[in-house]
Amino acid sequence: MTSTGTVPAPAAADTARLGPYLAAALAAADEDRIVYDLAGIGERYAALCRQLPRARVRFAMKACPVDDVLTLLAHRGAGIDAASPGEAERALRAGIPAGRMHYGNTVKSDQDIAAAHRLGIRDFATDSREDVAALAAHAPGARVFCRVTTSGDGAVWALGEKFGCPPGEAVRVLERARQAGLVPAGLSVHVGSQQLTARAWHDALAVLAEVLRALMRRGIRPEYVNLGGGLPALGYLGDDGRPLEPPLDTIFAVIRDGMAGLRRIAGGSLGFVVEPGRHLVADHGAIRAHVARLARRRMPDGGRRYWLYLSCGKFNGLYEMDDVRYRLVFPGRTGPYVPAVVAGPTCDSADTCSPARGLVPVPETLASGDPVWVLSCGAYATSYMTRGFNGIAPLPCFVTGPQGPRPGRRATGRAADEDSRHG
C-alpha cells in the first residue's frame, strides 16, 4: 500500500492557494493554532461587493466569531446576521451599530426577542404565526422578514426542515404580522450552506417572485429581499480528492438576473441583503496542527489500512470533517504517498473522517510531531470548538496580515469571556 491508487497526491496548487501572509504565518508557527488572514477576508469581501453592488452585506458571524474579523468587516461597512442576543452584543462591541444588524434566527424565545429589541435590533426573521405573536408582544413595531423554505438540493447542508415555511404560508405569516402591528418588511431564503449549483439560486428566486406577487396583490409591498447565505467556499476537495469547482461566476450572474426580475415586479423600489459566512472566511483560515501518529493497522477483515491521527479533529477545530474534505499540506515531507483514514486525537470514535468519503494521500515517512497545515478551514472552526474535550485545549487563535501574525483580539465582558474559550 505504498501507492496512492485512485487517490491523487497533493499538488503544489494546494499551497499556491494560500495568500502570502497566511503562508508565512503557518510556516513560522512552531505550535498548533488557527490563523485567519485578515487581508484575504477583506479581499473576498471587496470581491463580493463588486459582484453584488446593490446588496447590503450582513456577515453570518456564527461562521467566525473572531473579534478582529468582525472589526475588519465593520470598518468595510458590513453588518451582521445575528442568531442570538449574545452575538449581537459581541458585534456591538466590535463597532457594528444595531442599525446594521438583524436577528436572522427564526428560533428565539420571548426573552431573546426582548433582549435583542433592547439592544436596538429592529429587523427580525420569522417563519411562523407563533413567532409573529411573540414579536408583537416583545418587540412591538418591529420589522419582520419571512423566511421561505427551499429544498437545499445541491448544497452540502440543506437546512430545509428546521427553518422557513412554504410560499403560501409565508404570505399568511406576513399578513398576520401586519395585523399584529408589525411591519412586514421583507422576504428571505437560504439555498443551503455550501451551495454548489446555480440552479438552486434560480429556483429560489423564482419562488420569491411568486411570493412577492402574492403579497403585492394583498397590499403588502416588502422593502427588501434577503437572499441569505450559501455562497460557497472555493478550497474544498471532493470525495475523490480532486478540487471542487463551484460555478461562482454563474451563481453571481443568476443572482443578479433574479434581483433585477424581483425589482421589476416591485416597481423598482426593492432592496437586497445577503448573509455570507463561509464564503468570506473559510478559504482565509487555516490550522497548523501536527501528526500524533501514522499507523498501519490490521482491520477486522484481515487487511491493513493506514490511519493518520492528527492533533486536531472534530472537537477542536475540524467539526465539519465528515461533510467537507480539507486540503492537507505536510511541510518538508514528500512521497511516496499512502492512502489513509484521517482522525482526530480524542478517545472518541466519532472523531474520524468516514473512510466512505475517500482516503487521503499522506507521506509514508510522516513521524509524530511533524507539522500539518489544514487549509480552507476558517468557517465554523472557532465556533464549534469545545472547551477542552478529553483535556485537549482549544486551539489558540491568531490573525495575520501585512504586520505579521499576532494573537487574536478578545472582546470584553462576560459573554465575550465565555466565547473567548472557543477561540
Give percent of the chain above pLDDT 70: 93
Query: Is there a contact between 351 and 312 (Cβ–Cβ < 8 Å)?
Result: no
The pLDDT, as a whole number, for residue 10 is: 57
The pLDDT, as a whole number, for residue 268 is: 84
The pLDDT, as a whole number, for residue 415 is: 38
Q: Using CA atoms of 146, 151, 152, 154 in order, give the dihedral in degrees to the nearest 10.
A: -150
The pLDDT, as a whole number, for residue 8 is: 53
pTM over 0.75: yes
The pLDDT, as a whole number, for residue 352 is: 94
Helix (H, G, I), strand (E, B) or coil at 147: strand
How far lies 234's CA from each of 8, 158, 279, 282, 325, in Å?
19, 18, 8, 8, 12
Give residue 164's Cα distance to chain centre.
19
Would strands 193-195 and 155-157 be described as parallel, antiparallel, or unpaired? antiparallel
The pLDDT, as a whole number, for residue 421 is: 34
Residue found under cell 399568511: 172
> CB neighbours of 143 closer than 8 A, spacing ≥ 6?
122, 123, 124, 182, 183, 185, 186, 223
* Stretches in the chain below the pLDDT threshold 50: 1-7, 411-423
State the Cα–Cα distance between residues 293 and 1, nearest whole angstrom: 17
State the Cα–Cα distance between residues 235 and 32, nearest whole angstrom: 21
State the Cα–Cα distance between residues 281 and 288, nearest whole angstrom: 16
Quickly list DSSP for 245-308: ---HHHHHHHHHHHHHHHHHHTTT--EEEE--SHHHHGGGEEEEEEEEEEEEEE-TTS-EEEEE
Pure H helices in 188-247: 199-217
